[in-house]
Structure 1
Amino acid sequence: MASICVLGLGYVGLPTAALLAAAGHRVLGVDTDPRVLARLANGEPHIDEPGLATVVRAALQSGHLRPAARPEAAEIFVIAVPTPLQRGEGLPRADLAAVRGAAESIVPVLRKGNLVLLESTSPPGTTRDVLAPVLERSGLSAERDLDVAYCPERVIPGNILKELLANVRIVGGLTSRAAERAAELYRTFVDGEIICTDAMTAELVKLMENTYRDVNIALANQLARMAEDLDVDAWRVIELANRHPRVHLHQPGPGVGGHCIGVDPWFLVEKLPEATRLLRVARELNDGVPKVMTDWAIDLVRDVTRPKIALLGQAYKGDVDDARESPAVRVRDLLVARAGAQVATHDPHVGDHRDVAALHRCVDGAHLIVLLTPHAAYQQLDPVDIAQRMARRVILDTRGCVNRTAWRAAGFRVEVLGASPRPR
């Protein structure tokens, strides 16, 4: 088994490091955040992910996984660091500072024959034009002396371990030798098929997977608006349309979040602005939905002096603790910026106050509930109990997940994205 240095112990890096260790590799897990290292020193991951704590503890106890603040010499290096959007004037751009920083940190310990893998989602050409030149500061050629490859992660929070093991992996090398060496590594712990290609193709595959979903969600959000204007239930339209064997409409919502779907299309727009008009329109449509939801919420309490608005959910999707790029957070920030409303939030997976008592404090005396994240806990709420706690019984369901009949029977005015007339 190999000595491996994994740089970045986030949602992808830590599970990957733990599974590599479980396969028998000697793994050094590197992270620059002392809080992450402190948690691991106590045998606890900093991420709330099903099954992860058990795998991490076993890897640490076996000695096959060792956390560290700096990289050391190894046979294989895996870079799994964030590539967030850099927002400012003009269009959003990929922030590759962490990729460059990780690459720079291993230059002093690189040796001829090392395999370097990039897993971070990146614009096309990053492996060749950004990673390789940094690695070559070691005096080694990225194609002759090293093996450099791109293998994008293809997992979703809430199911990371299963998908790391079972999903098909696309491995793209700067050379065919690099791709095959990378595939050999993944075969030691991945059950899914592993397909070799070139680095640029692998980069584009990853970006198109998420761009397809973003455009599909934009279509669903456009459908929601059409359904509202036509007095039709968009959720029923989607359900019936998806009975067609070649149709797979996604669901509308308060926007698009997470570290991939709402981010990756911008990487393509940045690289190819003239060839990505559809992607840009979809991105702008989805980015605009949080403001639409904010305006809707304000309209529902317009007649109340100093209203209290209870926001249920801050994670970007149901039953995960991941609030990166979450539209729920954007709605919260937009409402807080509006003078005159008291905004309370609750999420059973995000933040320090996750219990039922915190939920009750959130809705006590509220004039409006805005359901932003479809956590199972929210779908199981007793509307009769909630009704007794509120100053006024109104709920705006942006996820189409509440039992409308039960909530209306409890005396609620139920507004549903895609099924209720939207304020003009």
Structure 2
Amino acid sequence: MDKKCISVVGLGFIGLPLALSFCEKGFQVYGVDVDPGKIDLLQRGMAYVTEDDDGVPLDAHLKKHLAAGTFIPTTEMEHTRAKVSAYVVTVGIPVHPSGGQLIYEPLDAAIDALGSVIMRGQLILLRPTLVPGTVEQRLLPRLTAVSKLAAGSDFHVAYAAERVAEGRAMKEFRTLDVVVGGLTPACTQRASELLAELTDGAIHQTDLRTSQLAKVVENVQRDVNLAIVNELAKVAQAHEVDLYHLIEMTNTHPRVQLLMPSVGVGGFCIPNAYLYLRDSVEDKDMMPLFETARAVNAGVPHRLVEAAALRLQDRGRRLTGTRVAVLGLGMKDGSNDTRQSPAVDCALAFAAAGADVRAFDPTVPRATFDFQVETMAECLESAAVVVVGAWQPEFESVPWKDVWPLTDTPVIIDPRHRLDTFLPSPQPSGQLS
């Protein structure tokens, strides 16, 4: 068992950059994932996650560590037995897209697989966002039942949620503070020592339950702050003032920091946080503020559809049958992760309203959605509404002066005014926030 040899379980949008971040710190990493297609791509040196590490793409890190033998992708947990000192788990709890039910099966399966290989003296460090209490109430009983070992004495268990933003994960894994809580003080210390090898940030030690709650609260706080801005968009419209100027003036106060609006709030973390908190308590009505914030943010794509329809109506046009171009489908700028993406939600909302939707994102595989097209020109052609969903770096090299004239004097939904730098002058009227 080598102290500098670990396994990262789950090689998704967080797990893969995490595994390669450990490799960059001198670790040998067994990357485990149940998806054979994903492992095949990795073994061929193809990263499916968009990341830029100070100018170095994830593909470059992947190829380097494959060649050095410091990164070993596999579907077989058994290959890690007795070789690694720690298992770092990134498998999370998805939410059913229509019913909102929490889906525990992937995490349960990963824990059962770990229980079958865990050995005395090893560490299991859990890093996904979890329903507070999941480690004690659900995962530890499964681990001990399968392994026949005692958690906390035979092997160590700790929780330290990742706090990174996709697109800059590798840099933030090296720099951000971490909150860690273990089953025992020895578990906490063992996890802290491993994390200190990864990050230059501070390691904050706490108890197991607080560490799980802290991560969910971080995400809920963001949800509430974003809901404030989305509500202010309606207030600004009612007062006929510019939302961005209002935010700028308000933020001149040193204790106020309003965020910028977008086409919605997406990703795997923030939209699920309220549901995780709600699932962790018996009184489901104790958090009306968080519930309201979630409803406000979830409703943004539909509000934008209604606003665009009204603007078209002012021009004597109907949304039904109108071409709508959606630029960028990631859940945030610079990401190719479309899980719970507000840009996708906007596309679907416009389609449900009868619009002819086309979307272009050079980082998202073309077969992901029916409304995707191959080029920016094809997306913009005859578009009477243009929605900037997620701004991708590739958009900055688009020949805008050539492709923008293909549009049909569109209503623009560009909450962060990304297009302003690139569009020919004069700008078309009808900018929507």
TM-score, structure 1 as length reference: 0.90
Matches within 5 A, 1:282-361: 282-302=293-313, 303-304=317-318, 306-339=321-354, 341-352=355-366, 358-361=375-378
- Residues of 1 paired with 2:421 and 2:75: CA distance? 51
SS at match of 2:295: helix
Matches within 5 A, 1:397-412: 397-403=414-420, 409-410=426-427, 412=428
Tell me which amino acid in the other structure corresponds to 1:285.
V
Whether 1:413 and 2:429 are equivalent positions in the alignment is yes
Contact 1:379/1:402 (<8 A) preserved: no
Contact 2:308/2:411 (<8 A) preserved: no
Summarize the Cα distance change of 1:275–1:379 in structure 2 as closer, same or farther, 3 Å threshold. Answer: farther
Query: How far apart are 1:318 and its partner, in Å?
Result: 1.4
Query: How far apart are 1:405 and its partner, in Å?
Result: 11
SS at match of 2:430: strand
Query: How far apart are 1:379 and its partner, in Å?
Result: 6.8
Equivalent in the alignment of 1:81:
91
Summarize the Cα distance change of 1:299–1:150 in structure 2 as closer, same or farther, 3 Å threshold. Answer: same
Matches within 5 A, 1:91-170: 92-137=100-145, 138-170=147-179
Equivalent in the alignment of 2:228:
219
Summarize the Cα distance change of 1:414–1:376 in structure 2 as closer, same or farther, 3 Å threshold. Answer: farther
Contact 1:408/1:414 (<8 A) preserved: no
Contact 2:133/2:280 (<8 A) preserved: no
Contact 2:180/2:191 (<8 A) preserved: yes
Query: How far apart are 1:388 and its partner, in Å?
Result: 2.2
- Residues of 2 paired with 1:226 and 1:378: CA distance? 32
- Residues of 2 paired with 1:267 and 1:337: CA distance? 29
Equivalent in the alignment of 2:287:
276
Count of paired positions: 413
Cα RMSD after superposing both structures? 2.5
Equivalent in the alignment of 1:373:
390
Q: Deviations for 1:45-101, whole angstroms, at most 9, x for unmatched residues?
A: 221211322222222111122111121313311111132113555xx3432222111
Tell me which amino acid in the other structure corresponds to 1:280.
E
Q: Deviations for 1:397-416, whole angstroms, at most 9, x for unmatched residues?
A: 23344439966714x12222
Deviates more, 1:371-380 or 1:143-152: 371-380
SS at match of 1:317: coil
Query: How far apart are 1:381 and its partner, in Å?
Result: 6.5
Equivalent in the alignment of 2:11:
9
Equivalent in the alignment of 1:390:
407
Gaps of 5+ in 2: none
Whether 1:35 and 2:37 are equivalent positions in the alignment is yes
Summarize the Cα distance change of 1:296–1:382 in structure 2 as closer, same or farther, 3 Å threshold. Answer: farther
Tell me which amino acid in the other structure corresponds to 1:308.
R
Query: How far apart are 1:260 and its partner, in Å?
Result: 0.9
Equivalent in the alignment of 1:70:
76
Q: Deviations for 1:260-280, whole angstroms, at most 9, x for unmatched residues?
A: 111122211222323321111
Tell me which amino acid in the other structure corresponds to 2:356.
Q
Gaps of 5+ in 1: 418-424
Q: Deviations for 1:224-259, whole angstroms, at most 9, x for unmatched residues?
A: 110011001111111222222111111222210111
Tell me which amino acid in the other structure corresponds to 1:347.
D
- Residues of 2 paired with 1:77 and 1:399: CA distance? 40
- Residues of 2 paired with 1:37 and 1:336: CA distance? 35
Equivalent in the alignment of 1:240:
249
Tell me which amino acid in the other structure corresponds to 2:42.
L
Deviates more, 1:33-42 or 1:300-309: 300-309
Equivalent in the alignment of 1:422:
none
- Residues of 2 paired with 1:333 and 1:405: CA distance? 27
Contact 2:181/2:209 (<8 A) preserved: yes
Q: Deviations for 1:382-402, whole angstroms, at most 9, x for unmatched residues?
A: 765445212344323233444
Contact 1:218/1:252 (<8 A) preserved: no
SS at match of 1:398: coil
The alignment-based identity, stated in percent, is 32
- Residues of 2 paired with 1:96 and 1:197: CA distance? 25
Summarize the Cα distance change of 1:88–1:389 in structure 2 as closer, same or farther, 3 Å threshold. Answer: closer
Summarize the Cα distance change of 1:87–1:328 in structure 2 as closer, same or farther, 3 Å threshold. Answer: closer
- Residues of 2 paired with 1:381 and 1:394: CA distance? 20
Q: Deviations for 1:153-184, whole angstroms, at most 9, x for unmatched residues?
A: 01001111100000001111011110100011
- Residues of 2 paired with 1:364 and 1:118: CA distance? 47
Contact 1:93/1:267 (<8 A) preserved: no
Contact 1:372/1:399 (<8 A) preserved: no
